[in-house]
Structures are given as structure tokens and as C-alpha cells.
Structure 1
Amino acid sequence: MADLIDIDAAVIGAGPAGLIAAEQLAQAGARVAVFDGMAAPARKFLLAGRGGLNLTHSEALPDFLARYGAAQPRLSPAIEAFGPQQLRAWADDLGQSTFVGTSGRVFPVAMKASPLLRAWLRRLDAQGVQLRLKHRWTGWDGEGHLSFDTPDGPRRIAARTTVLALGGASWPRLGSDGSWADLLARKGVTIEPLKPANCGFVAAWSALFADKYQGAPLKNVALSFGPRTVRGEAMITRDGIEGGAIYALSALLRDAILAGGEARLWIALRPDLTPNDLAARLAKPKGKQSLSTYLRKAAGLLPASIGLLQEVAHASGATLAMLPADELAALINAVPVRLIGVAPIARAISTAGGIAWDEIGDDYMLRKLPGVFAAGEMLDWEAPTGGYLLTACFATGAAAGQGAAKYLGR
């Protein structure tokens, strides 16, 4: 039997939610160890920061909180206590000052996640937090001790309190594989099915279109589904479509596809032009220009946008050359794209579903497992990209850490 190690608090998961929970516990005077199955901490956090770490967002707090939809009432207290302003102050205390970009998103001046993480780990080490890597959590043993698989064999931990911060099920190669769901379900904890969020979708492209335009952007477009319209960019993939504007609609599209098998997305390729303006431009003589050249010059369309128009027209049994100027103008700003599937959860940016809110107390302790707290993407919430995901992970991690410290009587 593995030797038993005794500590005050175990934090399982070395992402932002887990590390901030550990920091709260250490500041309260607890002996804390953070366990993670990977060989390095915060792998997904580091990946998110490669193109510029979008830490949070600068919009007014009421608007910020509204981004969490149905989960807003449960998340609001944690975010109000450790939200955008507090997160920026926290980063500043680590020597990683932040700035507000033109879109309102907040980034560290260094842009990358690695300088912030290094400073954070140094501070945690100075606070006495132990980091135990390559420790894959396998649940509890018959005596209620935490069990881990390690390169040196099984290990058991006796912790007076535990914070679970194992993430969702997106990017499993970085450590968040959702395997914790079965472990908690066996303890009677209700788990809402894990689903992809901020994800791409499958479209029935022709092989010709997919081969030619995969990886091509659709810039400055407006995407609509149901009552919602989003401005931004998207990208054609071999199997379908993804990108920032798609992610903003992903919850609505996903739920529609899961319920009915498909969803029809509408794309306005030149949303700043009225139908009359577009029709007037397209009524001009084409001369000897090819149709693609004409559409590029007259309507200002990118090659991928022209290809998409041709793909949709061909699927309906028509050709663009057959359409009069007013019908072509109407199509340009209302391109119907039939989506027939959701991209796999392993390719999603984040996860919806998780531990049902009824299972969680106001202090983030699991009602059926006294002394066990949960935070981050393990909980049943989702949010768009733009800093909202990270902020809620930090906020719930801080709340769970404070709840665990209170449980210890600290």
C-alpha cells in the first residue's frame, strides 16, 4: 500500500482556477499541495497565451456578467469579488501590468502567458505551496484518502480539504479530459453532459470547395442565427466553419443541432452595404472580366467569399452568372450555410456542462462531499471568448479557495 501523506489542503489541477485556489489557501496559512497529471503546470493557459493572453475584458460589470447567460446568478458573487478589476490588480502585483486593447479586451503588456505564470509560480513557491506534477487523480480509496497514479507508483494523500479544478474536456492532450465526471458521478454527484463550447461546426462542403478554401478567412462579415447577429471573422475549414464570430453563436448553434440535427446559419459578406447599394454596384457592365474578378472589384469580395457564393449557388442548382443584380446582392448579404454537426469537443476552446449548480453550495463546496470544493470549467457554465472564460475560472477558483480556507477554520 502506498505511503500516506498528510496535508491541510489538496488542490487537484494546476490551471488558473487551481493555482488561484492554492494561493487563497496559502495566504490563509494552510499547508497546500497542488497536484496535476501533466509534466508541467497550466498547459492550456500557456497555449491560450501564445497569440496574446486575453486575461479579461474592460466592459462595464453588468454587461460583463450578462455574458454568462443562465449561469449569471450563480457566478455573479464570485466575479463581483474577484472580477476584471481585481484580476488586473492581481497581475500588476506580479509585475505583469495590463492594457486595454482596441476591442476592450485586456492583455498583459508582455502579451504572453509564460512571464505571468513564471512570476506566479515563484510567488506560490515562496508561500510554501508544493507542486506535485505527474500525479493523475484516480478518486478516493476505501478510507476516503485521495488516490493518485504517479511514475513512482500509487500515492495516497490525506487532506483535510480538497479543491477540484480539473477543467472541462476540451484540449485533452493538455490535461483536461473530463475523466473526473465518472469519479464524481460514482459519488452521487449530478453531472450535466459535457458539450463543446466556443467550437466549430460541420458543413456539407463539396470536395472542390473544401480543397481550395480550407483555412481561408471570411473577414468583416455578419453571422446570424435566430434573433442574434454577430459581426467579426470566421474561417473555412475542410469540414465546416469556425472562428471568433462563430464561437459567439456556438451555444445557440450547438443546441439547435443537437436538438434537430442541423441549423441554418446566415452570412452577410458585405454587411455595411445596403441591398440597393450592392445592386447598383452589381448592375454595372461586367465587360470581359471573369465573374470572380468582377465580384472582387464591384462588390469588394474576398476570394473565399466568392467561393462560398459559388458553393451555395451550385448546391441550389443555380450559378451566380444566372442571377440578376438585385438577387445577387440579396444573396451576398444572406448566404445560407447548412450546418449538420458540431466539431468534436477535443477541438473546442471550452466546455459546457459539468457539475450541476444544485450540487454546489454558495462557498463552492459539493453538498454530497463535505470538505470537497470545485471550481473553473468543472462547473456547468459557459461564456464567449474575450476574457470571460479566464475571468470566471479565476473567480470561481478564488471563491473555492476561500471556501476551503473557511472550512479549515482559517
Structure 2
Amino acid sequence: MKKSVSIIGGGPAALLLAAFLDPQKFNVTIYEKNKTLGRKFLVAGKGGFNLTHSEPIAQLVDRYTPSHFLQEALLDFDNLDFQKWIDTMGIPTYIGSSKRIYPEIGIKPIEVLNAILDVLSKRGVTIQYQNTWTGWDSDHNLVFNDAIEVQSDYTVFALGGGSWKVTGSDGTWLELFKTQGIEVIPFKASNCAYGVNWNPDFIDLYEGNPLKNIAVSCGDKSQKGEVVLTRFGLEGNAIYAISPQIREELNDKQNATIFLDLKPTLSYDDLLHKLKKSTLKKTSEKLQKELKMSPAQIGLLKIYLSKETYLNSELLAQNIKKLPIEIMGFALLDEAISTTGGVNLNALDENFELKMLKNHFCIGEMIDLDAPTGGYLLQSCFSMGVYLARHLNSIP
């Protein structure tokens, strides 16, 4: 006789779990609070639909904080496995210049989602829409919409984090978990904008300008890429990648210091040589013509450095390589691309099962993990879903 699996939430982790569960062993039902599945999956696709990242798996594993918790799942179903799987559904992919993996040009996010939903349909997965999970009854049966009780052999929570509430990922389940004594951690913004107390004249002039081909560091972590100057502060892939380090400093000291390397391809000695050998008289012209620096980069140096430092080649080169910027805080939680917090890792075993509730599992962004943008968060969800499916499939 088939056993029942109730999956609560309809995001990428849930979809891959349902796609890989054995239909000969399980009756699978997804309970979704919205009228459609994959709302956040589709929203993520609006800015360039990178499904995962192409870097070697050993490097990919190290992108997560902490990395050890996801290692087995990522090795079991990695970025190449995902590419092969989605290709079998008629969704070919390509590797972009950033090494991110995208559906071939012309394929829209909704087409990717529909291809996955077609797999679920063929495997007999039932989807119950507009069913909001509101807790358990006294026998630990699931309750939806404060009235509907559901018995299930296995329950899998894929409830998402605390950002982008418009998609249904509102994090209200934290309180329900607390009532069961499950250890949870408040959500915090990750992959978000960070506040900087800009000089008003500077930001009036350069708001919206990118700082391209730079490196950003905090603590012992450095990331090359791009950031954008905003009225609030800084955002972009280079600063998103060091979110764990910034967040740690903010938690400890209420502010954090990041360092910008405005010319990561040149050493200090290279910079100094170019500045000193230049026949140009004005420092700004040297920066623009000899070092190919943008007006926004030059403006940043001018506003942060004293006139004496700016005109001193040695000190200027030092600051081009390591310009300190003070971070004052996070963007609003709901404006973050993703969040940390949620279910404490110590509350789960190696198969994502809640230690306090037998046959109850948690996967996806609701777990207290951190992943940078660039396809890493999606890949973690894909890998967790498949890993748990294979675990359940293996149970006699």
C-alpha cells in the first residue's frame, strides 16, 4: 500500500522533491497557499533567470555558509545533474559570461516552471491550491485554513524564508514551529542592499552608477564583481557574496567596514608605477586615462580621501587597493533577495528530518543557511529536494 507524503509549500525545493519521489511508493500532495506554484521562482527570473552556477562542485560547496550541512546533498545532485535533468524536459541551458547557467535565450521562466509541473502531473502528484498551513492538531495531524485536517505518513515543510512577502514567503510559520519547541532563529536579510551614510553631494551626482570590475572584502572574505551606488548604500553581486561577514560585524558592533579594491587586476606597485610615470599633471586625469577609472570611482576617492592623501601617489595607490567604507545597516527584510534564519541546523538530522518530530522534514530557504546570488540558492533547493526524495525512496 502506498504511503502519503504531504509537501507544504510550492517552491523549487518542493517541486524537485515531488519530481523525484517514487510514484509507485507514494501518494504525493503539494499544499500551496497561493493560487499558483513557484511564485518566488518566477519573480527570481525577472532579473535574469540563472538556474544554477557552472563552477566545479568543490568550489560550489564552499559558497554556502556553513558549507558542511549541504555537502552530501550537493554532491548527490549537483549543478551538472540539474542541467542534464532539465534538458530531458526540453529546457536546454547555456553558460553565460559570468559562469552562471541560464535557460537558452528565448525560454521564459514560466516555460521552465510549466515543464517541471508537467513532470509532476505525469507522476500523479496532486496539488491543492489556496491551502494555508495553520499548525497541527493534538494528534500532530496537519491543519490547513484553520479547519481542514490532513493525516500523512511523511510531512515535508518547504515554507521558504522571510523575504518577498508578495510571493507568499512571509515567514509566519516561525511562530507555529516555536509552539512545538522546535528551535528557530529570527530571519535576517541576506543578498541585500547595505546602508552607507553618503555625502549628499556625492550621491546626488552618482546615484545609480555601477562600480564595475572591483573587489569587495570584509573580514577574511573577498569577492570580485560589481556594486551599484544607491541612495541607501551599496548593492550588487560583489557585496551580496560577503553578506555573512558583513552581518557578523553588524551583529557584533552595530556597524561594519568593507574595503573596496577599485583595481583588483593591478598590484599596488603597478598602480604606483602608472601614477608616477604619467606625464599628466592632474591626478583625476591620471586616474581616468592611465588607470581607466570611471567618474564614479574617482568621485568616491575624492569624497573619502583628504586632499593631501588624494594628491600623494603612494597613499592614493593604497586607497585604490583598499578603500574603507563604513556599513550602517541592512535593507528592509522584505526587500532582500534572500534571508538567513529559520530552522536551526541543530534541529535537523543529516536527512533534514526534525529531531523532535519523527517523519517531519524541512528543506529549502526555511533552513538557516546562507547562499550568495548567482544560482546558488536555487541549486541548494534543488539538491535538498532530490536528496530527501532519494532518502524517502530508500525507506523499506
Normalising by structure 1, what TM-score?
Answer: 0.87
**Runs of 5+ in structure 2 lacking a partner?**
none
- Do residues 98 (structure 1) and 68 (structure 2) align? no
User: Retained in 1: the 8 A contact 2:221–2:245?
Assistant: no
275, 282, 301: which one aligns with 1:309: 301
Which one-letter code corresponds to 1:206 in the other structure?
Answer: N
Which one-letter code corresponds to 2:327 in the other structure?
Answer: L
Moved more, 380-389 or 292-301: 292-301
Distance 1:320 1:211 in 2: 25
Moved more, 82-91 or 126-135: 126-135
Residue 356 of structure 1, CA deviation: 2.0
Distance 1:256 1:94 in 2: 44
162, 185, 188: which one aligns with 1:195: 188
Distance 1:112 1:62 in 2: 30
| Equivalence map 1:83-232=2 (5 Å) | 83-110=78-105, 112-149=108-145, 154-232=147-225
| Equivalence map 1:6-155=2 (5 Å) | 8-25=4-21, 27-72=23-68, 74-110=69-105, 112-149=108-145, 154-155=147-148
Summarize the Cα distance change of 1:406–1:164 in structure 2 as closer, same or farther, 3 Å threshold: farther
Aligned residue number for residue 371 of structure 2: 383
Summarize the Cα distance change of 1:184–1:402 in structure 2 as closer, same or farther, 3 Å threshold: farther
Deviation above 6 Å: which 4+ runs of structure 1? none
Q: Over the residues paired in the alignment, what is the CA RMSD in angstroms?
A: 2.4
Aligned residue number for residue 356 of structure 1: 344
Aligned residue number for residue 273 of structure 1: 266
Distance 1:146 1:199 in 2: 34
Deviations 1:351-398 (A, max 9, x none): 222212232223322121122111111222222223221111111122
Distance 2:64 2:114 in 1: 30
Aligned residue number for residue 3 of structure 1: none
| Equivalence map 1:302-341=2 (5 Å) | 302-313=294-305, 318-319=306-307, 323-341=311-329
Which one-letter code corresponds to 2:231 in the other structure?
Answer: R
Q: Secondary structure at the match of 2:316?
A: helix
Moved more, 206-215 or 87-96: 206-215
Q: Sequence identity, in percent?
A: 36
Moved more, 90-99 or 207-216: 207-216
Q: Secondary structure at the match of 1:192?
A: strand
How many residue pairs match? The answer is: 392
User: Retained in 2: the 8 A contact 1:196–1:352?
Assistant: yes
**Runs of 5+ in structure 1 lacking a partner?**
1-6
User: Retained in 2: the 8 A contact 1:271–1:333?
Assistant: yes
Q: Secondary structure at the match of 1:398?
A: helix
Deviations 1:129-156 (A, max 9, x none): 122222221111334332222xxx8433
Distance 2:36 2:58 in 1: 36
Aligned residue number for residue 393 of structure 1: 381
Aligned residue number for residue 300 of structure 1: 292
Normalising by structure 2, what TM-score?
Answer: 0.90
Which one-letter code corresponds to 2:75 in the other structure?
Answer: E
Distance 2:198 2:158 in 1: 39
Q: Secondary structure at the match of 1:8?
A: strand
Distance 1:322 1:190 in 2: 52
